[in-house]
Amino acid sequence: MLAWLGYAVMVSTLLSGAAFAAERAARLRRAGTRWIWATAIVASLLLPTVISSISIELPNIFAPRHASHPLVLRDAASVHLSAPAWVAQQAAPLAAALPRNPDPLVKRAWLAVSAAMLLALAASAVLLHLRKRRWLARRIGGVDVYVTTDAGPAVVGLLRSRIVLPLWLTEAPPAQLALVMAHEKAHLDARDPQLLSVALCLLVLMPWNLPLWWQLRRLRHAIEVDCDARVLHAGHDLRQYGAALVDVGQRHAGHVGAVAAMAESRSLLEQRIRIMVAAPGRWSRAGAVLLAATALCMAAAAAQLAPPNGAAPTPMVARGDLPQEIRLSPSSLLAYEGTFQLEEFQTITITRDGRRLWSQVNGQEKLELYAEHQDQFFSRDINAKVRFQRDPKGRVNALVLERPGVQRPAPRIDDEAAAALADKIARYCARSGPIPGGEAALRRNADAVNTGVFVASDLTPAFAAQVASNMPAMLKHTAEPAPGKLVSIAFLRVNRDTGEDVYRVEYEQRIFDFFLLFDSKGKVAQAWLWDVPK
């Protein structure tokens, strides 16, 4: 998830650059620019989502009787960056303090920020509605307007937009009032308030994406620049209109939210005036072509940027013992899809995406599987293989998860049983306290990190065999420095993602967090430990 957020920011940054170049090209040709930024905002939201998750079934026009060919968009993207690996290496100290699987935490934070922003927008709308009730409704130049002492000139309202004028402007010379009214009516005719409101609401979907906020700022500026162009195109005098902008900018009333307003900051107002008085240059046509080409190149680069779940040109884990991958047809991969029960409170789900097969243990991240033979797959991320088994009718009815020295069988369960088991696992993960007897079992086996001796009766038979096989590797990991005598054991929490009881175990020389998954009989079905800085 964190890698995908970084990917989305990179795509938005490239699209921001493309929109900026396109805007400059349009300005040289005296064309409108607000739709450029509106398109950039929509593309920044859709492009990373679509490329990461969509696959298209292309019909086989040369052999219509054969299965269609799946085009997975993330695999079509050709630009694979190594920056995420560098970032991960630099952030290793921070990663040690994070949960093993931070994705649920990131998702909850994303949802919380989006909800907070949505509530802020709703509160702003309610506040604006309450303020409108205090404003004076008048009709000026055949247009219904609000007159107030604390806002405007601006246009407010999403469905029924109306011009807001400050009281001092109604007493201004008729020529100045007419120019201000022409500007605000141009906003109404172009539906600028609706465009700006929709763009702001779209930001609720990715409020953490900083390039999107910059795009929104550029959109607001482009809306005003385009409005200036429409007012001048209608025949109003440039000198008088510029003077009106300066006067309104100096006496601009209070903020009324995300609305189309005539006045802006001094720097942006100065840019608007310079754009209005700028004359076409000698090389404006060539400059516009060059900028447009730059914009197209940057947009193409954004589309070709591969998401973190794209097919990288080299394996994520470099091991010399990786088997040779073979390609299986998408239709043959359908046979493997389903839910398989590894333990009483643990499942592995197999899904297909085009020509790719994915495995996911409940509460953990997805891992891609690569075909070694028919019914046998391996992982490039961890040292594991998955071997599928079939019944006499040729249907896949089980799998075996193979780790070094360990084989974990998992029968296939139907959708109804999978749903019931998922509910059971959710209740198990929602426990508020530890499994009874768990701490006692941990105390009986705590010295195994020093001696390699454990009490097999505290473990399930399958996990006891796994521990016996992996004990030399574990002792090698805990040897330097040796943990020493047990000092204390403290229960920390239940891992809400995968259901383990988490204990902090302190030894004389080292500290570990033990993650223990128990079955309903109190036996340890899975366990792993995490080093904690002492």
The pLDDT value recorded for residue 55 is 52
Last residue of a domain, which of 381, 411, 427? 427
Q: Do 527 and 443 belong to one domain?
A: yes
Residue 438: inside a domain, yes or no? Answer: yes
Tokens (6 digits) for 179 = 């120019």
Residue 397: inside a domain, yes or no? Answer: yes
Q: Do 68 and 215 belong to one domain?
A: yes
Q: How confident is the model at residue 69 (pLDDT cuts 50, 70, 90)?
A: very low
Q: How confident is the model at residue 257 (pLDDT cuts 50, 70, 90)?
A: low
Last residue of a domain, which of 374, 409, 427? 427
pLDDT in tens, 200-212: 999 999 999 999 9
Last residue of a domain, which of 409, 427, 445? 427
Q: How confident is the model at residue 67 (pLDDT cuts 50, 70, 90)?
A: very low
pTM comes to: 0.57
Who wins on pLDDT, 279 or 299?
A: 299
The pLDDT value recorded for residue 161 is 87
Q: Do 135 and 229 belong to one domain?
A: yes
In this structure, the strands spanning 143-148 and 162-166 are parallel
The pLDDT value recorded for residue 476 is 85
Do residues 501 and 428 touch, judged by C-beta distance below 8 A? Answer: no
Do residues 312 and 386 touch, judged by C-beta distance below 8 A? Answer: no
281: amino acid identity, one letter:
G
Total of domains in the chain: 3
SS (H, E, C) 34-76: HHHHHHHHHHHHHHHHHHHHCEEEECCCCCCCCCCEEEEHHHH
The pLDDT value recorded for residue 68 is 45
- Which residues constitute the domain of residue 472? 431-532
Number of other CB atoms surrounding residue 435 within 10 Å: 22
φ and ψ of 109, to 5 deg: -65, -40
pLDDT in tens, 167-191: 888 888 999 999 999 999 999 999 9
Nearest to 388 by CA among 361, 364, 418, 409: 409
Q: Do 296 and 410 belong to one domain?
A: no
Q: Do 415 and 435 belong to one domain?
A: no
The residues facing 79 across adjacent strands are 305
Q: How confident is the model at residue 224 (pLDDT cuts 50, 70, 90)?
A: very high
Residue 148 backbone class (left: φ over 0; alpha: ψ -120 to 50; beta: rest): beta
Q: Tokens 């409940």: give the residue.
A: 362
The CATH number linked to 370 is 2.40.128.50
The pLDDT value recorded for residue 253 is 57
Residue 112: inside a domain, yes or no? Answer: yes
Q: Is the model's pLDDT at 317 over the cut of 80?
A: no
pLDDT in tens, 461-476: 888 988 888 888 888 8
| Full strand arrangement of the beta sheet holding 501-507 | 486-494, 501-507, 511-518, 524-532
Q: Is the model's pLDDT at 394 over the cut of 60?
A: yes
Q: Do 149 and 22 belong to one domain?
A: yes
pLDDT in tens, 131-158: 888 899 999 888 899 999 888 788 888 8
Do residues 368 and 380 touch, judged by C-beta distance below 8 A? Answer: yes
Q: Do 370 and 495 belong to one domain?
A: no
Instruction: Report the range of poorest mean pLDDT among 78-82, 371-375, 497-501, 527-531.
Output: 78-82
Q: Do 394 and 492 belong to one domain?
A: no
Q: Is the model's pLDDT at 236 over the cut of 80?
A: yes
Nearest to 218 by CA among 264, 177, 185: 264
Residue 489: inside a domain, yes or no? Answer: yes
Q: Do 198 and 64 belong to one domain?
A: yes
Q: Do 112 and 244 belong to one domain?
A: yes
Measured CA to CA, the distance from residue 304 to residue 298 in angstroms comes to: 10
Q: Do 124 and 236 belong to one domain?
A: yes
Do residues 302 and 47 touch, judged by C-beta distance below 8 A? Answer: yes
Residue ranges in 305-434 assigned as alpha helix (H): 330-333, 415-429
The pLDDT value recorded for residue 271 is 86
SS (H, E, C) 307-329: CCCCCCCCCCCCCCCCCCCCCCC
Residue 323: inside a domain, yes or no? Answer: no
Q: Do 510 and 409 belong to one domain?
A: no
Residue 342: inside a domain, yes or no? Answer: yes
Burial 117-128 (b: 16+ CB within 10 A, else e): beeebeeeeeeb
Residue 64: inside a domain, yes or no? Answer: yes
Residue 280: inside a domain, yes or no? Answer: yes
What length does the chain have? Answer: 534
